[in-house]
Amino acid sequence: MSTPLVVIGDTLLDRELEGGVERLCPDAPVPVLDERRVRSRPGGAALAARLAVADGYDVTLVTALSADRAGRGLAAALERAGIEVVDLGLAGATPEKIRVTTDGRPLLRVDRGGGGVVGGVTAAARAAIGWAGAVLVSDYGRGVAADPGVRQALLARKERVPVVWDPHPRGPSPLPGVSLATPNEREAARFEPAPSGDGFEARVARALRLCRRWRAHALCVTCGDRGALLVREREGPVLVPAVPASGSDACGAGDRFASAAVGVLAGGATVEDAVIIAVANAADFVASATAAALYRDWSGGTRGQRAAGGNVAEEVIARTRAAGGTVVATGGCFDLLHVGHVRTLEAARALGDCLVVCLNSDVSVRRLKGTGRPVVPQDEREAVLLALGCVDAVVAFDEDTPELLLARLRPDVWAKGGDYLAHELPERHVVEGFGGRCVALPYLAGRSTTTLIREAGARAR
């Protein structure tokens, strides 16, 4: 059984609005963004909790959620991820961080929402903290870490278990005696504004002053792609370099660092080992596009929950829309799945936040392709599709085309691979009738099920 981790802090909704810029606004010298897609994922303490779950820990999140649509969507996403949530209640709207990007580069960030904790610490929150094997305080300056009851419960626990405190300039100081405090460089400068220069010795002096002021056992200043600086009162400083990461999305790297560090400390390792491992994990997080993958996790559910059937597809669609995401559907027979199918499905999934595959049933395939088809029966085709990371749900239909199914599911985007244009798609009138749009995806020439069957037959002779 894994160590029970408790994450305490503010839950946010991270949104990424991605588009292209090709012109300036006529009435002001500002770029005009043509929106392409909006993606969402849990942020703040919720992201740290999600990453700890991915590391294999049993995680309880003590946070404050709003009762609005985004808050309900966050709660559902956390539950799907296997995170037990202790909700203290949020007075205002769900906090959102909206990043506007073009060609992978940030253009603008908009912050909105937020409010105080409604009722303060609860018996459930005290119990969760009291049973914790390790605690991560992921403070985003919105009130949870400042709650007097939460701090009192932590005071009674911090001498018994590792406590990592990831602070925020708008939040309270860490409790005295935490195992490790993890401000980044900018935060450290705001917490300890006394001038100290930019050299190594000056940075060490600043970190040590902050460590003493907070009375932390250790303090680690994270420095992005330059690694991290660890200081302790009676030991020399340790500079941990980072492996250069080629990824462009560093959002969430701090949460990855803190969640990895608390997990390592929970296993009994030293603070130095925890920092070394956390630096490596943060670099991997940026380099491996894990940050982007979590957007898909949030909208489409976890891999183990993908399944076939209309009810499941409608649940996936409802969750995606509750999070403000884009629903994409595609369709076909997918008999003898080949690389052309996979490329088309991946391209379709990239258009939004979940992908539902409308699958021709055995009856439909036989009517369209002839008595020798399908080669692979429907249930096996469904299983193969669901094994792909880009597919969130599969629904079979018996008609020649999925128009009736599309009218029921009402996706935002209908994407189809082939050598035709979007306006030539036979389902166009149905999709546009309920406000959706059609997209024709590139066709990979020379790859088809018919060709595979013919080649296999020729080789068998």
pLDDT at 300: 42
pLDDT at 416: 84
pLDDT tens sequence across 21-65: 888 888 888 888 887 777 778 899 999 999 998 888 899 999 999
Contacts of 86 (CB under 8 A, 6+ apart): 60, 61, 62, 63, 122, 124, 125, 128
User: Residue 211 above 60 pLDDT?
Assistant: yes
Stretch among 3-12, 180-189, 277-286 having the lowest mean pLDDT: 277-286
Q: Which amino acid is at 92?
A: G
pLDDT at 120: 80
User: Residue 226 above 90 pLDDT?
Assistant: no
pLDDT at 183: 96
Average pLDDT over residues 1-7: 80
pTM for this predicted structure: 0.64
Mean pLDDT over all residues of the chain?
84
Give me the active site residues, please.
Answer: 255
CA atoms of 345 and 384, how far apart (whole Å): 12
Q: Which of 172-186, 290-304, 407-421 has the highest mean pLDDT?
A: 172-186
pLDDT tens sequence across 117-141: 887 888 999 999 999 999 999 999 9
Res. 308 pLDDT band, cuts 50 70 90: low
Instruction: Outline where 267-389 has alpha helix (H).
Output: 271-287, 290-300, 310-322, 339-349, 362-369, 378-386
pLDDT at 233: 87
Select from 132, 190, 98, 116 the least CA-distant residue to 8: 132
DSSP 90: B
Res. 303 pLDDT band, cuts 50 70 90: very low
Task: Tally the C-alpha atoms within 13 A of residue 423's C-alpha that lie toward its C-beta.
Answer: 0
User: Residue 446 above 60 pLDDT?
Assistant: no
Average pLDDT over residues 450-454: 54
pLDDT at 304: 33
CA atoms of 173 and 373, how far apart (whole Å): 67
For the chain, list the domains and their CATH numbers: 4-293 (3.40.1190.20), 307-460 (3.40.50.620)
Average pLDDT over residues 289-306: 48
pLDDT at 294: 60
